[in-house]
């Protein structure tokens, strides 16, 4: 009996002790959670300080449109409809100028057109009498909703005007249906459209005036950065091609480059989104009106093709099946030069694109890579008869590496052509070094030779060589 009573006394004390420990641990967990959230805030702000500025811009815009409520004269003019200005700021304000301008124009134009058509539909239906009016209004709503919803599936409309189509459907329904129960339909539509337009205007003005974030510049930098990533990988990869598998595994540079080039493979959606937003933006800085944004998508597609070949090259390099050392050494120097020259060419193209200069200096590296590719092809043809006694599984990786490197050279040449086309369309600048390169590629052409009084007269003309 004494033992049982002791156990009963210990249970409450143990329960109280566990509860106290749980409360202390809960305090520590909450504190650790707060510290983790604070670190996350710091990391996000440090990665892109523009995010902090964007948050302040949204707060400023909401404060400005809230003045419609704070000042009695403004509230008397618009009444409860001022809430539409606040809703517009919350929905329309985006990170970049292009996204904000696109959404603002979509919302403003759709509201204006749908409001006018809604009022017209209301008056047309009301003229038919109380019995037919609801039927006719329902028919109008059905027809416009079906037609615009189907139009949203068009790729061109989906890319740029999808949001506007949604707002058109919503506004038309609100105005036309509300008019069935509200007598002052014109006044109601006027107030809603005015407040929405003012909210969209505030978003656009703040987005452009206060530390603007241009989607076009982000696209320009992204494409140049992707080129530089591939260039760094190929330039560093040339030194890694014929190292042992242990050295490749231990190489930190190779691991970092691997992560960087793989991020290029997933950049298509980001590029298309930025190009769509950039089309809405007005001319700014070096990006004039009607800047060739489509050319960036073309270059981005070529860069991803090159990244796919690099991915395949990396897979064969890290394969466990290796060709004999003698045959590997045969093409080692040429393969390394191809990779390094391609890397240098991509880095030069990226550098000239960032500065918006003519990419003339990259042509020399492309030419060197093409010459190395021809040399590699000749080496493979000259030694192929000696590979008859070698295991086929050992030969395939070596031949595949040579083939993929040749494809990479072709891709780099196509990227260079794309950048040259962009330079022509966007009127890139000609630097002093570019002029010197152009001048060094001039040839002397003899046009005419004349003999007169024991003298020889030679007429010479300078012409530029094709790069």
Q: Find, among 88, 177, 54, 86, the residue nearest to 126 by Cα.
A: 177
CB atoms within 10 A of CB 327: 20
pLDDT of the residue at 383: 61
Helix (H, G, I), strand (E, B) or coil at 285: coil
Specify the range with the lowest mean pLDDT, choosing from 18-22, 141-145, 331-335: 18-22
What whole-number distance in Å separates Cα of residue 58 and Cα of residue 67?
15
At 467, is the pLDDT very low, low, confident or very high (cuts 50, 70, 90)? very low
Residue 11 has pLDDT above 60, yes or no: no
CA dihedral 30, 35, 37, 40 (to 10 degrees): -160
Element (H, E) at 464: strand 455-464
| Mean per-residue pLDDT, 91-98 | 91
What whole-number distance in Å separates Cα of residue 433 and Cα of residue 441?
13
What whole-number distance in Å separates Cα of residue 116 and Cα of residue 103?
20
Asked if residue 203 lies in contact with residue 88, where contact means CB atoms within 8 angstroms, the answer is yes
Q: Which tokens go with 360?
A: 């003339």
Specify the range with the lowest mean pLDDT, choosing from 26-30, 226-230, 255-259, 329-333: 255-259
Q: Which residues lie closer than 8 Å to 320 by C-beta, 6 or more apart?
A: 245
Residue 22 has pLDDT above 80, yes or no: no
Residue 185 has pLDDT above 70, yes or no: no
| Mean per-residue pLDDT, 419-430 | 86
Q: Which residues lie closer than 8 Å to 217 by C-beta, 6 or more apart?
A: 285, 287
| Mean per-residue pLDDT, 438-445 | 45
Mean pLDDT value across the chain: 77
DSSP 25-44: HHHHHHHHHHHHHHHHHHHH
What whole-number distance in Å separates Cα of residue 84 and Cα of residue 195?
6
Q: Which residues lie closer than 8 Å to 93 by C-beta, 6 or more apart?
A: 57, 58, 61, 100, 203, 206, 207
Cα maximum dimension of the chain: 144
DSSP designation for 82: G
Convert the pLDDT of each residue in 237-273 to its tens digit.
Answer: 755 555 544 454 444 444 555 567 788 888 899 999 9
Convert the pLDDT of each residue in 194-249 to its tens digit.
Answer: 888 888 889 999 999 998 999 999 999 999 999 998 888 888 775 555 554 445 44
Asked if residue 252 lies in contact with residue 135, where contact means CB atoms within 8 angstroms, the answer is no
Whose tokens are 């997933």? That residue is 266
Specify the range with the lowest mean pLDDT, choosing from 133-137, 154-158, 321-325, 439-443: 439-443
Q: Find, among 308, 356, 343, the residue nearest to 228 by Cα.
A: 343
Classify 391 in phi/psi space as left (phi over 0), alpha (psi -120 to 50) or beta: beta
Convert the pLDDT of each residue in 106-165 to its tens digit.
Answer: 988 998 898 888 888 888 888 877 778 888 888 988 999 999 999 999 988 888 899 999
pLDDT of the residue at 266: 86
Who wins on pLDDT, 176 or 406?
406
pTM value? 0.79
Cα angle: 162, vertex 166, 171; to 5 degrees: 145
DSSP 430-462: --HHHHHHHHHTEEEEEEEEEEETTEEEEEEEE
At 35, is the pLDDT very low, low, confident or very high (cuts 50, 70, 90)? confident
What whole-number distance in Å separates Cα of residue 314 and Cα of residue 404?
10
Classify 175 in phi/psi space as left (phi over 0), alpha (psi -120 to 50) or beta: alpha
Whose tokens are 């991509």? That residue is 346
DSSP designation for 463: E
Convert the pLDDT of each residue in 284-294 to its tens digit.
Answer: 888 888 889 99
Residue 9 has pLDDT above 80, yes or no: no
Q: What percent of the chain has pLDDT over 70?
A: 73
| Mean per-residue pLDDT, 316-342 | 70
| Mean per-residue pLDDT, 362-383 | 79
What whole-number distance in Å separates Cα of residue 57 and Cα of residue 94?
10
| Mean per-residue pLDDT, 282-305 | 89
Instruction: Kindly calculate the radius of gyration of the chain based on its CA atoms and give it in whole angstroms.
Output: 34
| Mean per-residue pLDDT, 439-454 | 44
């Amino acid at each position: 009996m004494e033992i049982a009573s002791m156990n009963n006394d210990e249970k409450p004390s143990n329960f109280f002790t566990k509860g106290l420990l749980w409360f202390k641990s809960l305090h520590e967990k909450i504190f650790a959670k707060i510290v983790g959230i604070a670190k996350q805030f710091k990391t996000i702000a440090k990665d892109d300080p523009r995010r902090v500025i964007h948050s302040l811009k949204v707060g400023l815009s909401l404060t400005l449109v809230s003045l419609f409520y704070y000042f009695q004269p403004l509230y008397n003019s618009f009444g409860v409809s001022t809430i539409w200005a606040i809703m517009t700021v919350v929905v329309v304000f985006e990170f970049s100028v292009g996204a904000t301008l696109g959404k603002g124009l979509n919302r403003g134009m759709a509201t204006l057109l749908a409001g006018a058509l809604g009022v017209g539909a209301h008056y047309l239906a009301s003229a038919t009498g109380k019995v037919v009016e609801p039927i006719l209004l329902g028919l109008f709503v059905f027809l416009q909703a079906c037609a615009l919803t189907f139009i949203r599936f068009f790729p061109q409309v989906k890319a740029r005007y999808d949001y506007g189509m949604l707002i058109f459907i919503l506004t038309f329904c609100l105005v036309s249906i509300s008019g069935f129960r509200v007598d002052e339909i014109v006044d109601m539509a006027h107030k809603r459209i005015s407040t929405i337009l003012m909210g969209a205007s505030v978003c656009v003005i703040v987005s452009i005036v206060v530390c603007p974030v241009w989607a076009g510049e982000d696209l320009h930098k992204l494409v140049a950065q992707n080129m530089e990533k591939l260039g760094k990988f190929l330039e560093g990869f040339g030194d890694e091609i014929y190292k042992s598998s242990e050295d490749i595994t231990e190489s930190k540079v190779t691991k970092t480059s691997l992560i960087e080039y793989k991020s290029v493979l997933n950049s298509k959606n980001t590029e298309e989104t930025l190009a769509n937003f950039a089309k809405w933006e007005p001319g700014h800085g070096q990006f004039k009106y009607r800047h060739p944004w489509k050319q960036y998508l073309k270059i981005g597609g070529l860069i991803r093709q090159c990244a796919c070949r690099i991915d395949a090259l990396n897979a064969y390099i890290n394969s466990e099946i290796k060709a004999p050392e003698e045959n590997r050494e045969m093409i080692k120097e040429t393969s390394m030069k191809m990779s390094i020259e391609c890397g240098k060419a991509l880095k030069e193209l990226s550098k000239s694109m960032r500065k918006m200069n003519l990419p003339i200096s990259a042509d020399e590296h492309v030419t060197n890579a093409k010459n190395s590719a021809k040399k590699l092809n000749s080496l493979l043809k000259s030694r192929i008869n000696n590979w008859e006694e070698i295991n086929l599984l050992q030969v395939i990786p070596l031949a595949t590496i040579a083939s993929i490197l040749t494809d990479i050279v072709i891709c780099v040449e196509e990227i260079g052509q794309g950048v040259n086309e962009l330079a022509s369309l966007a009127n890139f600048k000609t630097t002093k070094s570019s002029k010197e390169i152009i001048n060094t590629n001039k040839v002397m052409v003899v046009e005419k030779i004349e003999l007169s009084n024991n003298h020889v007269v030679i007429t010479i003309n300078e012409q530029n060589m094709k790069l």
